[in-house]
Amino acid sequence: MIDRKEIERLVEERIQELDNGLYVVEMTISSTNVIRIEIDKINGGVTVADCVSVSRNVEHNLDREKADFELHVSSAGLDKPFRHINQYIKNVGRTINVVTKDGRTIEGEILKVADEKIILSAEEMQLLEGKKKKEKVEVIYEIMLTEIKEANIVISFK
């Protein structure tokens, strides 16, 4: 079995060398030594060169004589849920869809990420006092990261 700590060390070593805002979103190692590493970047997107660089550092420093392995290094996809606080920070100003652990669904713009929580601005239809029809109002939500079951970016083609 391949040592997870060794993989983490090799990935972190290359990320530090590149010094371009990369971070690991998720890393898994299967029982059959299939290593999957997903990376993202604080500012901008992950390039093919970033993936190749991380992949080469891992591959060239592991001994296939000890344990054969399959290695996949990729960027965190837009279609996948957020799994790291930096993904929220990177997307401040963008609209996300959040499902909380208590089952609420909130769609709103990330205003701020701080102290292990996100602050969202959402537009909701509410019946205001003295009005007969519901009106659109801005609602601010503060959601602890520990209360989020799943969060995805809302892809818009406007």
Looking at the structure, do residues 42 and 95 belong to the same domain, yes or no? Answer: no
Looking at the structure, do residues 60 and 112 belong to the same domain, yes or no? Answer: no
Q: Is residue 80 part of a domain?
A: no
Give the residue among 84, 60, 74 at the shortest CA–CA distance from 6: 60
Looking at the structure, do residues 66 and 127 belong to the same domain, yes or no? Answer: no
Q: Is residue 68 part of a domain?
A: yes
pLDDT digits (tens, 9 = 90+) for 60-94: 999 888 889 999 999 998 889 999 999 999 999 99
Looking at the structure, do residues 66 and 14 belong to the same domain, yes or no? Answer: yes
pLDDT digits (tens, 9 = 90+) for 94-117: 999 999 999 999 999 999 999 899
Looking at the structure, do residues 52 and 11 belong to the same domain, yes or no? Answer: yes
Q: Which domain holds residue 93?
A: 85-153
Percentage with pLDDT > 70 across the chain: 100
- Residue 131 is predicted with a pLDDT of 82
Domain count, the chain: 2
Percentage with pLDDT > 90 across the chain: 78
The pTM assigned to this predicted structure is 0.85
- Decide which of 55, 75, 95 is a domain's last residue: 75
Q: How far apart are CA 1 and CA 100, in angstroms?
A: 36
Note whether 82 and 152 are within 8 A (CB): yes
Looking at the structure, do residues 55 and 17 belong to the same domain, yes or no? Answer: yes
Looking at the structure, do residues 98 and 129 belong to the same domain, yes or no? Answer: yes
Looking at the structure, do residues 11 and 67 belong to the same domain, yes or no? Answer: yes
pLDDT digits (tens, 9 = 90+) for 5-16: 999 999 999 999
Q: Is residue 147 part of a domain?
A: yes
Q: How far apart are CA 92 and CA 118, in angstroms?
A: 9
Looking at the structure, do residues 69 and 118 belong to the same domain, yes or no? Answer: no
Which CATH number covers residue 92?
Answer: 2.30.30.100
- Describe the strand order of the beta sheet including 22-29 as a list of residue ranges: 22-29, 34-41, 70-75
Give the residue among 70, 48, 47, 61 at the shortest CA–CA distance from 7: 61
Q: Is residue 158 part of a domain?
A: no
Residues ≥6 apart with Cβ < 8 Å to 119: 110, 111, 112, 113, 140, 141, 142, 143
- Decide which of 28, 46, 75 is a domain's last residue: 75
- Decide which of 75, 104, 123 is a domain's last residue: 75
Q: Is residue 119 part of a domain?
A: yes
